[in-house]
Amino acid sequence: MRALCCIAVCLFGAAASDPSKLLEGLKAFSLGDGLGGKTLDKEGGKKEKNVCGDGVMDLATEECDEGKANGLPWPEYVPEVVCPALLINSIEALEEAQRCRTAEDVEFQLNTAIDVVMPNLTIVLPGGVIRSREDPTNLPNLAKSISMPNLIFAQDEIDFDEESPELETLEFASLMYTDDIELQDMPNLRTFSAPKLVSTDSDV
């Protein structure tokens, strides 16, 4: 496969440079409400808004099952699952990162050709999901596939390039927003999937 080109795109014309405005805008798509805690159902009546732990994706109230306050724009996760920037450079590092529900950044530099699944991660803020930015050894990321099925928000970017030579699949089944998507010079990449993406502000 030849290098993937960068194409400027903005879906729905969202002003995605300010993620908080995106969250407000998504309320129009039943991801929140302005009806005093209620939303309209299909018959036009009012129903209770989404609550923590009900299994309904709602960026305006998305919190972990232990959350006590609903209606806030950011998660109410317990401290043990709120993580700093993650550098995933080994199987052990990946196993440790599985506890994280949020992270400041997720950087990959795996030294083993494996399939990566991170089901617990939901929000990356303020960073993104990338191949390691600053690495003096310049070792490649050998992951064969990366799947984050419940990631809904990666503020900065999704960014992979020729330093991920074995990467075949990138799947983000729940991703709604990221500022920038860049996939370049990846000869083995076959699939990039983000079916729920609402907006990206820069390159794809």
Would you say residue 181 lies in a domain? yes
Would you say residue 117 lies in a domain? yes
Are the C-beta atoms of 160 and 136 separated by less than 8 Å?
Answer: no
- Which pLDDT belongs to residue 122? 92
Q: What is the mean pLDDT of each run of 10 residues along the chain (204 residues)?
A: 38 43 41 38 56 55 47 62 92 94 93 94 92 70 95 93 94 94 92 92 64
Would you say residue 201 lies in a domain? no
Would you say residue 204 lies in a domain? no
Distance CA 145, CA 126 (A): 24
Q: Are strands 102-103 and 38-40 parallel, antiparallel or unpaired?
A: unpaired
- Which pLDDT belongs to residue 51? 58
Would you say residue 203 lies in a domain? no
Each residue's pLDDT tens digit, 15-36 = 444 554 444 444 333 333 333 3
DSSP secondary structure string for all residues of 134-192: S-TT-PPP--SEEE-TT--EESS-EEE-TT-TT--EEE-TT--EES-EEE-S-TT--EE
Does pTM top 0.85 for this prediction? no
- What domain range includes position 182? 11-193
Kindly report the average pLDDT of the chain as a whole number.
73
Would you say residue 200 lies in a domain? no
Question: How many distinct structural domains can be found in the chain?
Answer: 1
- Which pLDDT belongs to residue 79? 78
Distance CA 114, CA 197 (A): 26
Would you say residue 20 lies in a domain? yes
